[in-house]
Structure formats: structure tokens, C-alpha cells
Chains A and B, each alone.
Chain A
Amino acid sequence: MDSTTVAASRPTPVEPEGPRPRGKRPGGRDGARRRALKDRMIFFGPLLAVLVGLLGFPIVFALYASFADVDDMFSMAFAGLRNYESLLSQPETLVRPFLNTMRFALASVAISLTIGFAAALLLNSRLRGRRVFRSALMFPWVIPTVLTALMWRWVMDSNAGAFNGLLLQLGLIDEPVSWLGDPNLAPWIIILAQVWRGFPFITVMLLAALQAIPEELHEAAAVDGAGWLRRLRSIIWPGVRPIFILVGTLEGLYAFREFAMIDVLTGGGPAGATEVLATQVYRLFFQYQRFGDAMALAALMFVLALVATVLLMRLSARDEED
């Protein structure tokens, strides 16, 4: 059957005579369906355009480019694994930034979660002025990362920085310490700055989770004479666990991809001690013009983030089944 017969045999909308099947008015179900489709296009169209055009397309482009010839004037001819082979043959561009990234992400998340949870527990107790405290604790979250980075660079300045000044006045050190010039200390300074910026968000999220725990549970526990630790384990922790995992995941992946904090605070130095994957990709591409290596490393970062996200989402999904 070819298409013309289909078209001819289909009832046309303009059909003045003849019995109609029950419940079918002109523009009835078909019209409703068409309207529903139109609605969907209006409401989801812009979002899908952004997701496909502004996010999906660049990702596909980037992933393809990691398998293509980009070094030779961006010919974009398929080149198989050549970029990856080139990248993996220079482990020094890869291994140290990877380890630095993992240390930065894991340490900053672990510390932020600890401080953030403690702050949330404090703010959840009966405390005068706790709304003001919460607002004030949120301030670090509102300021731009580049400014956070520069502020900490100035606080940690070895000559005239506030931190050395404070430690000297308290007599805790005799000589100024070069916090950002020492390859063993600098990684912890960027972690400190990241924690400062990151813990307020965790506090707010966990505080909301704490406040969602029904008051009766606490009262029942008090009647049973349960101590604070026992309540923490049996009531508080189960209540906040899903959000704990979710904000941990979010903060971890934000730290994993962080660029501004490191670029502005240390520039990856001293001597590569704070170089992370994001700054390394940027450097390979824009400074060394090693386009193929940069594309391959960016694609590897994407795969790592993807795997981490899937694993952590599994963890939180299993949590919901419990």
C-alpha cells in the first residue's frame, strides 16, 4: 500500500454528513491530542533546545574531537586513539594533576561535610539569634570564587598576610611561613578556601533535612531516656542520610571540576603542586596549544565524573529502598 492510498482512505476532517462514531466530535480526541502535543512543545521545547543545543551538542563535539585530528589545523578527520596514546605516553601531564584533584575533592568534601553537619546541628538546637547566624554563615557562598581565591591569597600572604600576622603575634611561629610557596602546604590552603566557600551550602541543606524530622520522634526518644549519641544514630542520621549523600556528591563533583579557585589562588603552583585536571586541560589547550592532549584529558574527566555520578546515585537510590 503506498502513501497516496493511505491519504485518500483517511477520513478528512471536513465531513458534514453521515453517522459519526460515538464520542467523536470534530476536533475531539485528535484535537485534544494535538493540543497536548502543542502544549508539550511550548513547555518543554525551550528546555530541550538548551539541553540538546547548548549542552548535548558541545559534549558530542568534544567527545568526537578527542578521537579526531585537532592538532593539524583542526582538520577534524577521525584519528582513532591517537590523542589518547599521545596523552598517556606523557604520564607527567596526567598522574600528578589526577592525584591532586582527588586529594582536593575528597579532602574538601570530607571537611566541608563535617563542619557543615556540625553547624547544622548547632543551628537546629534552641539558640537565640540562630536565623542571624544562619544568614551570616551563608555569606561566603554569595561571593564570587575568584574573589574568595584572591581573599585567601591575601590572608595567606607570606609577608603581610593576616594569618602569619596573627600567628606571629600569638607567638605560635617565629618566622613568617610561606603558605602558598611551599609545595606541601599550598594544596591545603586551596582545600581550606574551598571548605570556607563550600560548607555554608551543606549547612543549609542539612539544616532543612534536620527540620523535616518529626518533633514526635525526638520527644519519644527523650521519654525513652535515649542519650544524645543514641538519638544521633537512630533518629538524626537516618533522617539526613539521603541529603548528606546528595550534597556530598554535588560538592564533590563541583570540587572535581573546580577551576577558578585553583587558577586564581595558586595558578597550579608552586611547581605543579596544586595543578588539577581542570587547570591542566586549560593549560594544555590555551597555553601549550596541545589541542589533542587537551581534548583527550577533558574527555577522560567527563568519563570519571560520569562514573562517579552513577555510582553515587546508586548509593542514594539504595538508600531510598531501605
Chain B
Amino acid sequence: MAKNLHHVSRTAGAAGRYALIVALLLFALLPFAWMLSTSLKPANEIYTTPVTWWPSAPTLDNFIAVVTRADFGVIMGNTLVVAGVSATVSTLVALFAAYGLSRLAGRRGETLVLVLLFAQMIPTILFVIPYFLIFRTLGLLDTLTALVVTNISLTVPIATWLLRRFIAKVPRALDEAALIDGCGRVGALLRVVAPAARAGVGAVFFYAFLVSWHEYLFALSLTSSPSNRVITLGITSLVGQYQVSWGELMALGLLAVVPLIVVFLLVERNLVEGLAGGVKG
């Protein structure tokens, strides 16, 4: 009898847990469902009331309209170049620094780690004004170079911070063997340590790529011409002063997000481990 009661309360507990999880999942995912539903609606159904939860006649018109826009290729290309170049440079800088922190630095390394952490916390708007003035002086306003430079400044500290945990986990015996074989330190890092930590390197690259892909404030204040537009500005450019083409906007949003979610699912485990490990260390 007592055992049965215990069993009942445990089943009830499990049911309660599932109910809470489902509530959280609804909170996290329902806005995506609304986004998808809107993106599949014909223009005349978007503003109908009462709201329809699923389009009566789903259509890909919004997606076609977005993809065939003259600047779609330009926007995607710009974003890929900016995010790709900044993430590559950041990951390389972070790889070297993380190796140095793990193998060469003494106590002063700890100070450097604190500086990296603090760099995370500086209000971005503080950088916008000096960068605006500096790039104006250098003639780099309204260029993709300006965005690459500012994204590097945003991502190097966090990338180094995350990567040092992955590098620290690579056994020292590996790079010492490489050193004895006549590799320099650089050779040891690039030929032995980095490949051994490739999962972490990949996760950090993705994170830096994600931050650059999401970046809005620098893009807004440092670029202006449509030929230099990146995805965040492409998305907001669909917001008119009086009217918003929600169907197209949600379609473009999904197109911008799906590749990120796919890659995220591929690197998720390492990324999560890196984030969590970085915090613990």
C-alpha cells in the first residue's frame, strides 16, 4: 500500500515535470510556429481577424518574393563574407592566444583572462562613436572592412575565453612529442594541438560566426548603402515607417535562421560543453 502510494506520487511528479517542460517548449517554439504560419499566408490573409492559425491556402509566394528580390544575393553574400572572415580571423587569434594561455602563461595569464571577461561587459555603444570617427577619417565608413574589424573586436575575447578550455584539455605530452620531433611551437599547435581540439575549434568558430551574423548596431551605424547591406539590416529594411510586409519578413527571417539552426544542431554538444567549461574554469 505504502509502496503503491509512493509509486503514484512519483508518476504524478513525472507528469508534472512533463507538463512544465511542455509549457517551456511552447513558450520557446510557438513564436516560430507563428512565424512559419505567417510566412506561408497569402498577402490578403495576413491581416484578417479573427486571426487564422494556419493559412487556408498555404503559398510560397513570400519566399519567392524574398529570394527573387534584386538584393537577396548581395545581402546573403555580404553576410557570409563578413561573418566568415571575422570568424576565421577571430578563431585564429583565439587559437594562438588560447595555446599561449594554456602552455606559456604563468600567473599573468589569469589577469589576461579577467581582461577577456571584462571586455565582454563593455557597452557596445561606447565603441560605436569612436569607430565611426576613426573609420570616417580612414575613409572606411560604409565598407564591409569596417564590419569585419568591429566584429573581430566583438568576438576575439569570448572566442579566446572559450577556446582555452578546449586547448587545456589536450594532453601536453602530445605537443611535447611534436616539439621533440622538431616542430616549432607554432607547428606543434597547428599540426597536433589544433587538430586534437578540432571539435572545440569548430564550436568556437560557429559561435564567432553567430555573433557576427547577429550583429546589428555596428552595421546600422557604420554602413549605409544597399550594396553593403548585411542580413540584420536586410531584415529591418523590410520594416517601413507605416507598413510592414510581415509575410516577406517572416519568410526572410526563416531563410536567415534555418542554416544557423542546422549548423547549431551539428556543433551543439561541443558548443554547450565549451560554454559551460569556460564558465567553470
**Interface residue ranges, A against B (CB under 8 Å):** 36, 39-40, 42-44, 46-47, 50-51, 54-55, 57-59, 61-62, 65, 74, 115, 118-119, 122-123, 125, 127, 133, 135-140, 142-147, 150-152, 154-155, 159-162, 164-166, 168-169, 196, 200-201, 204-205, 207-209, 212, 243, 246-247, 249-250, 253, 256-257, 259-260, 263-264, 277-278, 281-282, 285-286, 291, 294-295, 298-299, 301-302, 305, 308-309, 313
Contact = CB atoms under 8 A, between A and B. Distances in A.
Given A47-B156, A154-B246, A122 B123 contact: no
Contacts of A302: 122-123, 126
Interface string B235-277: 1100100001010011001001100110011001000110111
Nearest to B18: A127
Given A46-B97, A144-B235, A151-B253, 20 more contacts: A43-B96, A47-B96, A47-B112, A50-B93, A58-B126, A65-B133, A136-B29, A142-B210, A143-B253, A151-B35, A154-B34, A159-B49, A162-B51, A165-B51, A208-B277, A257-B123, A259-B125, A295-B129, A298-B129, A309-B118
Contacts of A200: 28
Interface string B144-168: 0000011011001100100000000
Given A42-B185, A168-B50, A282 B25 contact: no
Interface of B is mostly: helix
A144 B122 contact: no
A169 B46 CA distance: 17
Given A144-B213, A208-B276, A257 B28 contact: no
A299 B129 CA distance: 11
A44 B123 CA distance: 25
Interface stretch (B66-74, B169-177, B195-203, B214-222): B214-222
A166 B53 CA distance: 9
B113 to A, nearest CB: 11
A122 B28 contact: no
Given A147-B235, A282-B221, A133 B256 contact: no
Nearest to B17: A122
Nearest to A160: B47
B21 A204 contact: no
A138 B257 CA distance: 13
Contact of B47 (A59, A159, A277): A159
A62 B126 contact: yes
Interface of A is mostly: helix
Given A51-B115, A140-B28, A286 B253 contact: no
Contact of B133 (A74, A155, A196, A309): A74
Contacts of B134: 58, 61
A118 B94 CA distance: 34
Interface string B107-146: 0000010110011111111111111111000000000000
B153 A146 contact: no
Contacts of B104: 36, 39-40, 43-44
A224 to B, nearest CB: 17
A305 B232 contact: no
A247 B132 CA distance: 31
A90 B186 CA distance: 56
A207 B24 CA distance: 15
B21 A54 contact: no
Q: Among A50, A246, A263, A295, find the residue whose CB has the most chain B CB atoms closer than 10 A.
A: A50
Contacts of B220: 263
B217 to A, nearest CB: 5
B63 interface: no
Given A137-B25, A286-B221, A150 B127 contact: no
A59 B123 contact: no
Nearest to A309: B121
Given A115-B24, A127-B21, A43 B97 contact: yes
23 contacts: A47-B96, A51-B115, A65-B129, A122-B20, A123-B21, A139-B261, A142-B264, A143-B253, A144-B214, A145-B214, A151-B250, A152-B31, A154-B35, A155-B31, A205-B275, A208-B273, A212-B280, A246-B279, A264-B216, A278-B124, A286-B221, A294-B129, A302-B122
